[in-house]
Amino acid sequence: DIVMTQSPLSLPVTPGEPASISCTSSQSLLSSNGYNYLNWYLQKPGQSPQLLIYLGSNRASGVPDRFSGSGSGTDFTLKITRVEAEDVGVYYCMQDRQVPLTFGGGTNVEIK
């Protein structure tokens, strides 16, 4: 199974400041088709997860451009240029390169 390691576990942020979350996989998520099968999700309190970034660096429809994803192979990063109050929740990276699909442990983003 591919092990996903996410950091930090908790991230207190000041509104307007940037934030960054790291995700590392135990095996490469880069497929022969050139896609990195790494997605980022945000689970707001009481809600189901919502897709933010797919295939490593592509913003999902309706996601503000303050969110960006980067990385390839085994190392990935989610960045928020200026955090807003509505961005609070738990962020997860997930690999869907192969089954079993696996997640990072989550990063709880909260406003200071």
Partner 1 sequence: EVQLVESGGGLVQPGGSLKLSCAASGFTFSNSDIHWFRQAAGKGLEWVGRIKSKRQDYATAYAASVKGRFTISRDDSKNTAYLQMNSLRTEDTAMYYCTRRETFTDYWGQGTLVTVAS
Per rule CB under 8 A, is residue 100 in the interface with partner 1? yes
Distance between alpha carbon 72 and the CA centroid of its chain, in Å?
13
What residues contact 1, with CB distance under 8 A and at least 6 apart?
100, 102
Measure the CA–CA gap between 17 and 2, rounded to whole angstroms: 32
Binding mask 74-93 for partner 1 (x = CB under 8 A): ------------------x-
Among 68, 72, 88, 106, binds partner 1 (CB under 8 A): 106
Minimum Å gap between C-beta 14 and partner 1 is 26
Per rule CB under 8 A, is residue 108 in the interface with partner 1? no
Given the complex with partner 1, which of 16 and 48 has the nearer CB atom? 48
Per rule CB under 8 A, is residue 37 in the interface with partner 1? yes
Measure the CA–CA gap between 38 and 19, rounded to whole angstroms: 19
Q: How many residues bind partner 1 (CB under 8 A)?
A: 22
Q: What are the Cα distances from residue 24, in Å, to 4, 44, 65, 79, 93?
A: 6, 23, 23, 15, 9
Q: Which residues bind partner 1 (CB under 8 A)?
A: 35, 37, 39, 43, 47-51, 54-55, 60, 92, 94, 96, 99-103, 105-106
